[in-house]
Amino acid sequence: MNILENIKVVLVEPIFGGNIGSVCRAMNNNGITDLAIVKPRPTTNWDEAYKLACNAKAQLDARQEFQTLEEALADCTVVGATSARTGFYRDTAHSPREFAPIALESAADHKVALVFGREDKGLTNEELAQATHIIQIPSSELYTSLNLAQAVMVCCYELFVASGTFQPSEEKADEAPSELRERMFATWREMMLKTEFTHEQKLEHMMMGLRRIFSRGKLTVPDVKILMGLAKQSIWVSNQWNKTKGPHE
């Protein structure tokens, strides 16, 4: 089983339907599909929720609804509750990145919950008391409170990355050997002279600069062939131009 299937996102009395839909999208971006809503409001604009869920509408349909937070957390072991406020018992709060390995260790065999409060006043002290861990998302003092969907995205992203689910693409082309790079530099050397980009007295200085530029990152065989082709084409154009010039030009 995918370990992220054991992560449950719990929204407590969310106010705006659009935020609920955006939460579904953020969850799905990070491979998390279990959504629970505690005491959904009768005034919730579900049309707006479906609109902002975009391609996560199926996720919105699959949500579970509970009347109490206790019911929503009944099957969970580790419970991380988010809070932007400070206080004595919040001094041991974890960042989402610190909480991720704790949550995933338990999620290997049990349900784990991420709990998010109301958009206007967050979670009550009584609700926070039901958590095993407090999560505080690092933010600027200019505005410490995040939008609900943004907070969900940050927390789910850290879990997704820590889970090792995502495998970035790797460069498949071979790195260019020295012999090929030197042939490229020789072609560029000729091109800079033919196009009068520089002159003999400054050529070596320009070549050292060019080498430094091309040494800042790995050059693959296709990279070098493109750069060599560019230089060769510039040489050809310069030769054609010189053929059309009159003797006094």
Helix and strand totals (H; E) in the chain: 10, 6
Distance separating alpha carbons of residues 41 and 43, to the nearest angstrom = 5
Residue whose token pair is 């065989």: 221
- Interatomic CA distance for residues 34 and 24, integer angstroms: 9
> Could you tell me whether strands 111-116 and 64-66 are parallel, antiparallel, or unpaired per DSSP bridges?
unpaired
pLDDT digits (tens, 9 = 90+) for 116-146: 999 999 999 999 999 999 999 999 989 888 9
Q: What is the pTM of this model?
A: 0.77
Measured between alpha carbons, how far is residue 157 from residues 24, 26, 29, 128, 234 in Å?
13, 9, 8, 22, 47
Tokens of 137: 């998302």
The CA distance from 85 to 53, in Å, is: 28
Q: Does the structure show a pLDDT above 70 at 75?
A: yes
Q: Where do the structural domains in the chain lie, given as residue ranges?
A: 3-162, 178-244
pLDDT (average), residues 211-220: 92
Q: Lowest-confidence range among 77-91, 94-108, 142-156, 201-215?
A: 77-91
Coil, strand or helix: which one is 76? strand
Q: How many CB atoms lie within 10 A of CB 16?
A: 19
What is the spatial distance between Cα 229 and Cα 223, in angstroms, rounded to a whole number? Answer: 10
* 215 pLDDT above the threshold of 70: yes
Tell me how far CA of residue 159 lies from CA of 169, 203, 246, in angstroms: 20, 53, 70
Tokens of 248: 């006094």
Q: How large is the average pLDDT for residues 7-12?
A: 98
| Average pLDDT of the residues in 212-235 | 93
Residue 165 pLDDT level (bands cut at 50, 70, 90): confident
Indicate if the pLDDT at residue 242 is higher than 90.
no
Q: Give residue 98's pLDDT band: very low, low, confident or very high (50, 70, 90).
A: very high
Q: What confidence tens digit (pLDDT) does each residue in 18-60 have?
A: 999 999 999 999 999 999 999 999 999 999 999 999 999 999 9
3-class state of residue 196 by DSSP: coil
Binned at pLDDT 50, 70 and 90, residue 170 comes out as: confident
Is the pLDDT at 249 greater than 60? The verdict is: no
* pLDDT score, position 11: 98
Whether residue 37 contacts residue 63, with contact meaning beta carbons closer than 8 Å, is answered with yes
Question: What's at 225, amino acid-wise?
Answer: K
Rounded percentage of the chain residues whose pLDDT exceeds 90: 79
Hey, what are 27's tokens?
């969850």
Residues of the chain above pLDDT 70, percent = 96
Contact 173, 220 (CB under 8 A): yes
Q: What angle do CA 49, 50, 52 make, to 5 degrees?
A: 70
Which range has the worst mean pLDDT, 57-61, 170-174, 203-207? Answer: 170-174
Residue 5 Cα distances to 12, 111, 159, angstroms: 20, 8, 11
* CATH code reported for the domain at 3-162: 3.40.1280.10
DSSP structure string for 198-217: S-HHHHHHHHHHHHHHHTSS
